[in-house]
Chain A
Amino acid sequence: MIAAVPSSLRGENLTLSRGSRVLFTQLGFLIASGEALILRGANGSGKTSLLRVLAGLTQADEGVIFWNESVCTTASFQFRSNALYLGHANALKDDLTTAENLADALAFDGVTMSEEKQVDALKQVGLSSRRHLPARKLSQGQKRRIGLARLLLAEKPLWLLDEPTNALDAEGVALFTRITDEHLSAGGIACIATHLDMKVHAQMRELRVDEYEAGESSRSTAVSKLAETHEATEAA
């Protein structure tokens, strides 16, 4: 479905400050179907905040976000039904089992999935034997893998992922990379905040969030850099 409708996410002039500290100013980017935006930056540079702004959870001080070239008001319906956000927290209920957690998350994503598909997805992420275990008994990495199963099933064109590979082992990282690749080649979009050197085959743009801190000079270089990558990809 998403391949048929080319989608794009554009941010313009985004500014966000927390207290007296400016996290980023005049940040802009454009990603289209099949592209990933990798958010880089030191701890506390505002990667999570930027993702939350894109998800509509946090209101930016200034700037506009466009989804398919129409302006997103804070978490408008159209946008929310297209985006999947995986945050820092795993958003799991300790009292519910792995399978129940996945089913609940999908239900609130507005997706109905047959149980076989859910079982299959849990098998793909290596949790088939843990299906009926309460989430509190899972390791940190296994909890993260439930998120991967959700990525497999939720069928949202836009992924907003905050450190998705945290606590994952090497095999888990490989699995995540494969899932992301498939998503992008199907025409999806992903914004990923990560410290990992991701080997995604599809087109990738890097955005260094720290370069958009208040300083005027560093900002201009960052903007021109982004323009360069744009030209480069358009030429290709």
Chain B
Amino acid sequence: MNSLANAAPETPEISAENGVLLAFRRDCRLAMRSRGEIIQALVFFVIVVSLFPLAVGAESALLKRIAPGVVWVAALLSVLLTLPRLFASDYADGTLEQLAMSPYPMATIVAGKMLAHWFTTGLPLALVAPILGLQFGLGTGELGVIVASLMLGTPILSMIGAIGAALTLGVRGGSILMALLVLPLYIPVLIFGAGAVEASMAGIDYAANLSLLGAGLLLGALASPFAAAAAVKIALD
């Protein structure tokens, strides 16, 4: 097999960025092949948010008051619904052990998967949110803050969620356990995310809330891939 001798020049550089990019592209392509799941999470988000005006009545002052909380809680729940997609199918069909065997560091692959998860769930949510905000009679400035807070906050949801999803891999009744594990950790994101919108409605400076979300995002980006990769390896053992 002289092909073995020719291997060297074709071997790509095994770098961290390559690992992230490779996993990101793969997961995005897989998500696009089953677009239904992306759309379902989005429709779920729209329906949950739309239930509130129906339930509490059309009193505009009240609706406006609860809008930030409602949008954020709904975003949280729809991200939660999509978390099993992150690792469970790869775990079931044996792909996850292949990824763990890859020369690319597992943390970079996990980071790529988190990024792809955000790209296919968090980002669409953030883009749809302003349309839903109109139902609650929010002004343009407030809608902008909703989008900004979701843009900063939903990646954190994907990152924390990935750790939870990896920890509950292969556990019976894992999805409920994952929700119990992940939801309490979502609380700070919820507080600062909804807080930013409330602050802008009250006319106070909302930059502090967004800054805290940004800090959380940086911290998550640094630490969560390693934590989730470690959890995946435990699940595979």
- By a beta-carbon cutoff of 8 Å, the part of chain A in contact with chain B is 1-4, 55-59, 75, 77, 80-81, 83-85, 87-96, 100, 104-105, 107-114, 117, 153, 155, 182-183, 185-188
Is the CB–CB distance between A110 and B102 below 8 Å? yes
Is the CB–CB distance between A81 and B100 below 8 Å? no
**Shortest distance in angstroms between A146's beta carbon and chain B's nearest beta carbon?**
12
Counting CB contacts under 8 A, is B54 at the interface?
no
* B90-115 with Cβ < 8 A to chain A: 92-95, 97-105, 109
| B1-42 near A? 1/0 per residue, CB < 8 Å | 101110110111010000000100010011001100000000
- By a beta-carbon cutoff of 8 Å, the part of chain B in contact with chain A is 1, 3-5, 7-8, 10-12, 14, 22, 26, 29-30, 33-34, 92-95, 97-105, 109, 236-237
Q: A57-B101, A83-B101 are in contact. Are A1 and B95 (CB under 8 A)?
A: no
- The 20 listed contacts between A and B (C-beta, < 8 Å) are A1-B7, A55-B97, A75-B101, A83-B101, A87-B98, A89-B93, A90-B94, A93-B93, A95-B33, A96-B33, A105-B98, A108-B99, A109-B102, A111-B10, A111-B12, A113-B10, A114-B10, A117-B3, A155-B4, A186-B4
Q: B33 — which chain A residues lie within 8 A by C-beta?
A: 95-96
Is the CB–CB distance between B7 and A108 below 8 Å? no
Q: A153 — which chain B residues lie within 8 A by C-beta?
A: 3
**Shortest distance in angstroms between A121's beta carbon and chain B's nearest beta carbon?**
10
Q: A80-B103, A117-B3, A186-B1 known; 12 other A-B pairs, CB under 8 Å?
A: A1-B5, A4-B5, A58-B236, A87-B94, A87-B98, A92-B93, A93-B30, A96-B33, A107-B22, A110-B103, A111-B12, A188-B4
Q: A85-B97, A96-B30, A110-B103 are in contact. Are A57 and B237 (CB under 8 A)?
A: yes
CA distance A93 to B97 in the complex (A): 13
Q: A58 — which chain B residues lie within 8 A by C-beta?
A: 236-237
B1, B3, B98: the one contacting A108 at CB < 8 Å is B98
**Shortest distance in angstroms between B8's beta carbon and chain A's nearest beta carbon?**
6
Is the CB–CB distance between B104 and A108 below 8 Å? yes
Is the CB–CB distance between A55 and B14 below 8 Å? no
Closest to B105 in A: A77
Is the CB–CB distance between B94 and A91 below 8 Å? yes
Closest to A97 in B: B33
CA distance A77 to B103 in the complex (A): 6
CA distance A9 to B93 in the complex (A): 28
CA distance A107 to B21 in the complex (A): 11
CA distance A183 to B2 in the complex (A): 10
Is the CB–CB distance between A91 and B95 below 8 Å? yes
Is the CB–CB distance between B101 and A182 below 8 Å? no
Q: A1 — which chain B residues lie within 8 A by C-beta?
A: 4-5, 7-8
Is the CB–CB distance between B1 and A183 below 8 Å? yes
CA distance A105 to B3 in the complex (A): 18
Is the CB–CB distance between B102 and A80 below 8 Å? yes
A59, A93, A183: the one contacting B237 at CB < 8 Å is A59
CA distance A4 to B3 in the complex (A): 13
B3, B8, B12, B93: the one contacting A91 at CB < 8 Å is B93
Is the CB–CB distance between B101 and A110 below 8 Å? no
**Shortest distance in angstroms between B85's beta carbon and chain A's nearest beta carbon?**
12
Is the CB–CB distance between A85 and B30 below 8 Å? no
CA distance A91 to B94 in the complex (A): 4
Q: B94 — which chain A residues lie within 8 A by C-beta?
A: 87-91
**Shortest distance in angstroms between B90's beta carbon and chain A's nearest beta carbon?**
9
**Shortest distance in angstroms between B6's beta carbon and chain A's nearest beta carbon?**
8
**Shortest distance in angstroms between B59's beta carbon and chain A's nearest beta carbon?**
47
Is the CB–CB distance between B11 and A55 below 8 Å? no
Q: B10 — which chain A residues lie within 8 A by C-beta?
A: 111-114
Is the CB–CB distance between A57 and B99 below 8 Å? no
Q: A185 — which chain B residues lie within 8 A by C-beta?
A: 1
